[in-house]
């Protein structure tokens, strides 16, 4: 990937998207996430990754 002409604003955009998507994954019931199970990544793993990203970005944002 090349650098964005928007500089750090592009990075902030991606970080905000990660926070929002990780919250969505955490709030989605396991039954619904299980429907997307492809045999490689289980809903428990998705939720674990989402929780870790959410926690680390919340700390980074000072929340």
Reported as a single tens digit per residue, the pLDDT across 7-62 is 889 988 999 999 999 999 999 999 888 887 777 888 899 999 999 999 998 877 77
pLDDT for 1: 61
pLDDT for 63: 64
CB-based contact 22:51 (threshold 8 Å): yes
Three-state secondary-structure class, residue 33: helix
CB-based contact 26:51 (threshold 8 Å): yes
pLDDT for 48: 95
DSSP secondary structure of 40-54: SS-HHHHHHHHHHHH
pLDDT for 42: 86
pTM of the prediction? 0.76
């Amino acid at each position: 990937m090349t650098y964005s002409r928007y500089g750090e604003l592009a990075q902030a955009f991606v970080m905000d998207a990660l926070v929002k998507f990780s919250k969505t994954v955490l709030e989605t019931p396991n039954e619904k996430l299980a429907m997307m199970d492809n045999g490689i990544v289980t809903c428990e793993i998705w939720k674990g990754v989402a929780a870790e990203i959410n926690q680390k970005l919340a700390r980074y944002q000072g929340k």
